[in-house]
Structure 1
Amino acid sequence: GSCKRKSSSTNIESLPDELMFEILLHLPADDIYGGAAFVCKKWRDLTRDRNFINEHIHRSTPGLVVQFQRQTENAVFLAMRRGRFEISKFSNYNFKHLLRASCNGLLIECDTANGCASFVVNPSTNRRLRIPPGYYSSIAYASASMSYKVVSGSTQYDKPEELGCVIWTVGVDKSWRTVCTEHLSLATRRILNTTPLTTEGFVHWSSPESGHILTLNIETEVITEIPVPKGYERGWKFYLSTGTSLTFLTAMGWFSFEVWELRQETGEWTKLHDIELDCQVLGFVYLNRLIDFSLVPLAPPNCSTATVNPVGWLNCKEALVLHAFPTRLCFVHIVRTREIDFFELGHDFDSYNFIAHRNSLVRLGRC
């Protein structure tokens, strides 16, 4: 039907399309799909328009999907809004399997108990599309060709020297295509058996103690070997995607980190600000949690039984999220103000997935 007059002084249908376009952009993807799109045909058509969907992606808030690996349906979305972090549930979708990667609101879901059967899902629109199985799959968007591509390290070979990479263009390919890796050394190719990270137009593989990363340009489908900054080859590194770029953090102390960011087009690293956490606040909360599990006295930074690890960024480096393993405790460090807040996950002594994500209305095949 059409948008009807609400009162004698208000006729929403008379608003210019440009103004209605701008108003609807301020609504979250879940609210648009679950409510606004059903108000009238004009709104439904507008929110399904490619230009609207693309602009809505850029306006949506980058955050983190947090998923408990043993209870995959209990995933939540963590994001910064008006300077404070918020935790919300996915009201339109119940996750059935492990999440692997995200791009423009689309997530890779992998059923590891069923031959790694995989799906591209959009939790905001409650749609999913079956894709070729792959254990360490990722997804990225090629803007020039306006296509989504699923990428996976090919682990079906028994011989290490045959490790490689495969790619599948959604809506085009019927099976995996091989990406050239002959120019990479065997030692470097082993990194392809790690969980990849997606940034804007690129997929990256890394190893915490390696002196190189591998970067796939999703448009050209060429893999490049990029060295880490000189002097950081052997140190432990935490690689995190902001959604648009790749960063790594290396510990200077238990509660302080150096931050580096990759210029993807040139392969050069840029040193950013250091992260200096409030030791008194962080240490007090963490210490009390460790006391509950008889893990004191507090261990040194390199102790495997008690660590505070960076796990993701919120809103393009506005805030850093850290997980205090082995507890369920997480900290949110707001970079500009150095404020620290914390929240708790569902279980202690368990593994979680932290994936950079933003909610969207992207439609993909049957999505």
Structure 2
Amino acid sequence: MMKNKEVEADDPFLPQEIIRDILIRLPVNSLIRFQCVCRLWRDLSKDPSFIADHLHHSNRQNPYILFQGVCSYDNPSDLYSLGSDMQVWRFQNPPLIEHFNHVKIVGSSNGLLCVQTNSLRCSSHSLLLWNPAIKEVKLVPETDFRLESHGCSTIGFGFCPSLKDYKIVITYVKNDFFGTFKVYSLRSNSWKEVKYRLVACPIYYRVTVNGVMYWWADKIIREDDGEDFEVVIFSFDLATEVWTVIPMPEQSSSTVYENLMVYEGKLAFVSCTEDFELRNSAIHLWVREEGVSASGETWNWTKKFTSNPYPSNGLFPETMLGNEILCRIWDSESTDTVLFNPTTEEFKKLNISKCDDKHKIFNYIESLVSAGGTKSLTKFLKRQGSSSRSLSYI
């Protein structure tokens, strides 16, 4: 039997494992502020095991959606966040976004944002890795080509769990027969090139799941009378650097919109069908799971549910917030945003008028994950030969 330990009133004591469990549940800004409490707390915020556990907790309990507005050289983009409390807040720590002439978020993973910039202070179309929560930014080394010089090019950003590495993947088509991946590894801080014979042309990066990136792609179908294209899913394994073309689930003829997401840790295919006469929409969700199908495939699509009708056309599935599907309504009469809960089968309209259909959407969580950059924007700009005027995070 465990004996109770007597604690003197003037000698408070908590076991280290309980302190650790409490700290894991705190937001990043509190953990940074509490680093001055003692050396143990300071070291915890840099411990890989603690960072991983904090990330896991945040992923389950504190997911966010980022809304980035359309930006131009005259109008730096606005950035808002939507959390589980359903409140929209202007995103904190904006100086990185506001400093450059043109900023475009191209991907989000574990609290790191991959940002594409164009500014007189940096080389054309530089790529940055930015953790807003810990105020850290890292300039990614330049590649040997310019993105704007390739008509069919896309950028993806994701995490490979087996390698514990973050990678940026740029795809582009060189000619009629070959495509090229430019792959950046954060661990090695370098780029490499992977060529592939052109079977499908990736046109739009969507999501990374368990170390595999997925794009919408045009598959080339060569026939006697010419060429045609079929929309497929193009995947690229970040560990093996092998690509695969995946067919989509069989769709209804009334399908209008479709998207790729992460559902319960798996690749999900979400589509919306419309009944134009009744003027309503329904959501359908498939999950790609391992298991031999009747056709002999080792992976197959399993349909999880079809929603009740929602009284509007133009329902577009954007992403997941927790286990709920966030959708935009794209029709001539409404620009609403709704959440669909698969468990309760309920739709909930969100009051986020600040974020219209011109805002791009990204999943985001606050984390302690480091990109190995600097936590001073002023120092970062000086390294790039920028103006020495003082800039700091709020």
TM bin, normalised by shorter chain, reads 0.7 to 0.9
Contact kept, 8 Å, 1:92 with 1:123, in 2: the verdict is yes
CA separation of 1:237/1:215 partners in 2, compared to 1, >3 Å: closer, same or farther? Answer: farther
Instruction: Specify which of 77, 82, 96 is matched with residue 81 of structure 2.
Output: 77
Instruction: Specify which of 35, 38, 50 is matched with residue 48 of structure 2.
Output: 50
1:313 shift after superposition? 0.8
Larger mean Cα displacement after TM superposition, 15-24 or 263-272: 263-272
**Ranges in structure 1 where 5+ consecutive residues have no aligned partner:** 1-7, 284-300, 302-306
Look up the equivalent residue of 1:179 and give its one-letter code.
Answer: V
Give the match for residue 246 of structure 1: 267
Contact kept, 8 Å, 1:30 with 1:92, in 2: the verdict is no
> Any residues of structure 2 matched to 1:191-340 within 5 Å, and which?
192-207=202-217, 210-231=230-251, 236-242=256-262, 244-253=265-274, 254-263=280-289, 266-279=298-311, 283=312, 301=313, 307-315=314-322, 318-325=323-330, 328-337=335-344, 338-340=346-348
1:249 shift after superposition? 1.8
Contact kept, 8 Å, 2:257 with 2:317, in 1: the verdict is no
1:173 shift after superposition? 4.5
Q: Does 1:101 align with 2:107?
A: yes
Question: Considering only CA atoms, is the larger Rg found in Structure 1 or Structure 2?
Answer: 2
Normalised to the residue count of structure 2, the TM-score between the two structures is: 0.72
1:264 shift after superposition? 7.3
Contact kept, 8 Å, 1:136 with 1:196, in 2: the verdict is no
CA separation of 1:10/1:247 partners in 2, compared to 1, >3 Å: closer, same or farther? Answer: farther
Contact kept, 8 Å, 2:106 with 2:157, in 1: the verdict is no
Residues 125-180 of structure 1: CA distance to partner in whole angstroms, max 9, x if unpaired?
Answer: 1111111465732222222322221111136x4x3433322211114143x31224
Give the match for residue 164 of structure 2: 146
Give the match for residue 290 of structure 1: none
Give the match for residue 297 of structure 1: none
CA separation of 1:268/1:118 partners in 2, compared to 1, >3 Å: closer, same or farther? Answer: same
Give the 3-state SS of the residue equivalent to 1:15 in structure 2.
coil
Identity of matched residues, %: 20
Normalised to the residue count of structure 1, the TM-score between the two structures is: 0.76
> Any residues of structure 2 matched to 1:171-210 within 5 Å, and which?
171-174=187-190, 176-182=191-197, 184-185=198-199, 188=200, 190=201, 192-207=202-217, 210=230
Instruction: Specify which of 38, 41, 55 is matched with residue 40 of structure 1.
Output: 38
Contact kept, 8 Å, 1:277 with 1:333, in 2: the verdict is no
Residues 183-216 of structure 1: CA distance to partner in whole angstroms, max 9, x if unpaired?
Answer: x51xx1x2x2323422231111115994421111
Give the 3-state SS of the residue equivalent to 2:83 in structure 1.
strand
1:328 shift after superposition? 5.0
1:112 shift after superposition? 5.1
CA separation of 1:228/1:138 partners in 2, compared to 1, >3 Å: closer, same or farther? Answer: same
Instruction: Specify which of 125, 128, 132 is matched with residue 123 of structure 1.
Output: 132
Distance 1:210 1:234 in 2: 18
Give the match for residue 304 of structure 1: none
Look up the equivalent residue of 1:91 and give its one-letter code.
Answer: Q
Q: How many residues align?
A: 319
CA separation of 1:236/1:218 partners in 2, compared to 1, >3 Å: closer, same or farther? Answer: farther
**Ranges in structure 2 where 5+ consecutive residues have no aligned partner:** 1-7, 98-102, 148-152, 219-228, 275-279, 292-297, 375-394
Larger mean Cα displacement after TM superposition, 357-366 or 205-214: 205-214
